[in-house]
Structure 1
Amino acid sequence: MASHRKLRAAAVVCAAVAVAGPASAAAWAAPPTAVRAAVQEAVPLAPAPAPSPSPDPFADLTPDEIADRAVTATQSATSLRMTGRVVTDGEALDIDFAVNERDECTGLMKIGGGTSELRRVDDFTYMKGDEAFWRVSMAGQGVPEGQIDATIDLVKGRWLKIAPGQEGASDLSEVCDLEGLLASLDEEKGAPGELVRGPDGEVDGTSVATLVKKDTGDTGDETSAEETTEPETTTVSVSQEGKPYILKMDKTGGEEPGSMTLSEFDEPVDVTVPPADETVDLSKLDEGTSA
């Protein structure tokens, strides 16, 4: 019922190109002091030298080598949080999910002015959306207006419970499949030499290096230039502190622009099962019953 294709697009963005970088330590010079005893008065302190720049942890690495380190580090994460937006067919999907290696997740998605909470635990997926979310999701799937109204009456204020094997279960589970998301990193790096290093920066106060990949859209097809309004550029920000995790991915141009931030690596993800009296089983929904 939800827009599963858009959920898959969000998962793809979360597993975009790859890069990362290790820790660095700032070196500070001690400010000198001087006292001129002969005149019995203190001489003003000399200004402190500017801090020495932190050593570049990637100074001797090529962009491809940086990407390899980043993929290895990020794939080792046992959990993470991903927040951001992806645009598909001109429609924005916002997500904020925490995911762990047991394919459990909890978070929010927003589309078309509507909001839905999603949880996955014990192989079951639970969704609780507001009316705006269900309307835009079902309308996008071509559900008739009358059926939309009837469905909203059944799920209003309740969690929709989706069991393994039911329609939509596999699509929704992709968003909570940490191993699957991270496995895609290797495939998205592109051919050797396609990555270039961009300027360093910061993500949420953490120093980062960046790698940039540009797709000109030139496939040799004469129609490709007309179909692509703007070349796709992916910029990946990489932590230079601690493990070389990917911290942010920005994609401009192309068919699915967006931005995704990764954080809270290896932190516990607490997912609770909604109360039974607040859920409605998808199979009951399909039968048109009320419980």
Structure 2
Amino acid sequence: MKTTIRATAAVAALVLGLAGCGSEGDDTSAGGAQTPASSPQPEPTVEKSVGTELERKTAQEIMRLSEEAMTQSESMRVKGTVDLDGVETEMEIALDKGGSCEGSMSQPTGGFEFIGVEGHGYMKADEKFWRANSEEPQEVEDIMVDLLADRWVDMGKDEDISGFCDLGELMGDASDAGSDPSATKGEKTQHQGVEVIPITTKEEGETTTGLVANDDDAPYILEMTNETQDGTVEKMTFSDFDKPIEVTAPADAVDLNALAEGAEA
């Protein structure tokens, strides 16, 4: 299980308005006497600039800052639709850099929930999932489904689950962030009540657009959409940055190793 973050952004130019200014004038009469203007003129004013430092930057600079912010986050929630080996998959996961996570995945062939605690994985899958992934004879498959369907299963030090629950591994590093010359900036817009800057990149027939929070202190990617040439669309949303993940191992998990040993006895 693997998710790649490819974010692109677009920036609207900073608007700086200047108000008109005036000054008092001199009016000299025929007799040389000086008279004041009929009405006072406004003092020179300059309208304050609007926007953030972020929106002044180039698409590449915004990409770099947003990906750095993502990699520095201690935890987050990821939700969306991805293509896993050609299968549309709905997923949601909350995870942190300590290896803790909880989430779920759903495909037409079944779904499952999972928990990760310090590299130890647990999974609870429905009957459709177990049957779709079984390579056992029908009689053995039926027994397996009776034992495991809709029950927590102790997967041990499962590399798939523990790797997927590692936020550091999921995010990778941002050493080459902002190096994509195809990145373009879009106009500022709103995403769920938050002002965002769209950044778009194109690579090998794929178009990826990331919505970056227009926030100098926290320029997180809030949504990412990837579309391929064949029309496949993946969309991910990101939230709950730095919110602690509190998960505990299920107390009633089925131990697969114990089951295997019992079957061999």
- Aligned-partner Cα distance in 2 for 1:208–1:79: 21
Q: 1:154 aligns with which of 143, 147, 150?
A: 147
Structure 2 residue 250 is matched with structure 1 residue 250: no
> Is 2:211 the counterpart of 1:237?
yes
Written as runs of structure 1 = structure 2, the 5 A alignment for 1:62-73 is 62-73=58-69
3-state SS in 1 of match to 2:153: strand
Q: How does 1:206-217 map to 2 (within 5 A)?
A: 206-215=194-203, 217=204
Per-residue CA distance 1:56-110 (angstroms, 9 max, x = gap)? 5334321111111112211111110000010234421111111011010011111
| Cα distance in 1, alignment partners of residues 227 and 193 from structure 2 | 23
Preserved CA contact (<8 Å) 1:100 1:269: yes
Specify the SS of the correspondent of 1:199: coil
Q: Find the aligned partners of 1:180 and 1:154 in 2 and give their Cα distance.
A: 33
How much has 1:128 moved relative to structure 2? Answer: 0.5
1:47 matched to which residue of 2? Answer: none
Alpha-carbon distance in 1 for matches of 2:229, 2:136: 29
Tell me the distance in 2 between the aligned counterparts of 1:100 and 1:88. Answer: 22
Amino acid at match of 2:170: L
- Mapped contact 1:20–1:244 kept (Cα < 8 A): no
Distance 1:117 1:192, change over 3 A: closer
Which one has the bigger helix percentage? 1
| Partner secondary structure for residue 250 of structure 1 | strand
Distance 1:244 1:282, change over 3 A: same
Superposition deviation, residue 16 in structure 1:
2.6
Give distance in 1, aligned partners of 2:72 and 2:59. Answer: 20
CA distance in 2, matches of 1:108, 1:130: 12
1:176: Cα distance to partner?
A: 0.6
Q: Take 1:53 and 1:150, find their aligned partners in 2: how far apart are those partners?
A: 69
Provide the rounded CA distance (Å) in 1 between the counterparts of 2:185 and 2:173: 21
Give the C-alpha shift of residue 257 in structure 1. Answer: 3.5
Amino acid at match of 1:213: T
Cα 1:110–1:69 shift into 2, 3 Å: same
| RMSD, matched Cα | 2.9
Q: Residue 33 of structure 2 corresponds to which residue in structure 1?
A: none
1:284 maps to which residue? 258
Counterpart check, 1:16 vs 2:6? yes
| Closer, same or farther: CA 153–185 of 1 in aligned 2, 3 Å | farther
Stretches of structure 2 that go unaligned for 5 or more consecutive residues are 15-47
Residue by residue, what CA displacement relative to the aligned partner does 1:7-46 show, whole Å, maximum 9, x if unpaired?
Answer: 22xx23xx2336699xx9xxxxxxxxxxxxxxxxxxxxxx
What does the per-residue CA deviation read over 1:202-241, in whole Å, with 9 as the maximum and x for residues that have no partner? Answer: 22211100110112x3xxxxxxxxxxxxx31100110113
Report what 1:268 is aligned to.
Answer: 244
- Normalised by the length of structure 1, the TM-score is 0.69
Quick check: 2:80–2:92 contact (8 Å CA) kept in 1? yes
Name the CA shift for 1:20/1:285 in 2 (closer, same or farther; >3 Å).
farther
Identity rate, percent: 30
**CA offset at residue 283 of structure 1?**
2.1
Q: How many residues get paired?
A: 227
